[in-house]
Amino acid sequence: MVDNTADDSPVAVIGLGLMGEVYARRLIDAGFPVTGFDVDAARRARLAEIGGRPVGSIAELAARARCIVIAVYSTDQVEDVVENHLLPALGDGSNRIVLCMSTCDPDRVAALAARVGPRGIRYLDVPVSGTSDQVRRGDGVALIGGDKTVAAEVSPILDALVARRFHVGKIGDGGRAKLAVNLILGLNRLALAEGLVFAERLGLDPAAFLPVAQGSASYSQVMDTKGSKMVRSEFSPEGRAKQTLKDCHIMLDQAVAIGQKLSMLEVHADVLEACVRAGEGELDNSVIIKEVRRRGVKT
């Protein structure tokens, strides 16, 4: 069990992938000492390169950090990190604040927070809207579910992580808001891909057409963040296709639970499934334009 009296402590980041590394970098740039853990040794080494302190285990990380940022891939991983690693390391009554910034099943997140709250973990549901590049530039938006008092306590950390934030309700509501935002965002992305391919097949140059679309009534922010990647077929990841598909599956599960059919989301998920089958899951989610092209023209 760790010493729970530590102060002047670093912010910890668990999960140093696309988003986790960006969170760590923003905290470091804002002057916070940062410790971090990832199962991937290369990611831990990268943290050291940008000025953070990598550690070899979650237990070591938990020993001093008052605030712990979780940026892992899935709900399963969040539950594992909190219940199988943080809690055993911290013991009861640690009074640690956990910011779960992963996009998760909101019902499971709420249940997890209810289980660990009595044992001393103060949990906030804080998924962030924005690509890794947007968050890196300071354009991320945090959607906070949980106790406003706890959120106020970590306000300087949240200020360092994102430019804007909305308190949307109780624990789980951050995730619910993020899923609804991602649904809209994903359909805009698919519409852009289909529109670019349509313009191309009508004989227009997609690179010349993109600024036309950006200046028209059809404009959406997706054109700025993904349009150039689609036009140039440059799919270095800022948000991986497989992770977008994971989020789609959570949305579809939630839709079943509330009795809503999401017909357009089903199409988006089908396109992403095809991309993953084609070996494109690790690429940026703008890669959906390749599947739109593959589907061809129906006669």
Closest CA to 121 of 147, 159, 102, 160: 147
pLDDT one-digit tens code per residue, 148-173 = 999 999 999 999 999 999 999 999 99
pLDDT one-digit tens code per residue, 178-189 = 999 999 999 999
Task: Please report the domains of the chain, with CATH numbers, ordered by start residue.
Answer: 11-170 (3.40.50.720), 177-294 (1.10.1040.10)
pLDDT one-digit tens code per residue, 92-139 = 888 999 999 999 999 999 999 999 999 999 999 999 999 999 999 999
For CA atoms 40, 44, 45, 47, the dihedral sign is positive
User: Which amino acid belongs to residue 247?
Assistant: D
pLDDT of 2 reads 36
Q: Mention every residue, 6+ apart, whose C-beta is less than 8 A from residue 55.
A: 35, 36, 37, 44, 61
pLDDT one-digit tens code per residue, 207-243 = 999 999 999 999 999 999 999 999 999 999 999 999 9
Using the predicted structure, report yes or no on whether residue 299 has a pLDDT greater than 80.
no
Count of residues making up the chain:
299
**Exposed / middle / buried, residue 169 (Cβ in 10 Å: 0-12, 13-18, 19+):** middle
Token look-up 């997609």 returns 206
What is the rounded average pLDDT for all residues in the chain?
Answer: 95
Using the predicted structure, report yes or no on whether residue 4 has a pLDDT greater than 90.
no
> Phi and psi for 115 in degrees, rounded to 5?
-75, -40
pLDDT one-digit tens code per residue, 254-279 = 999 999 999 999 999 999 999 999 99
pLDDT of 297 reads 66
**Exposed / middle / buried, residue 94 (Cβ in 10 Å: 0-12, 13-18, 19+):** buried
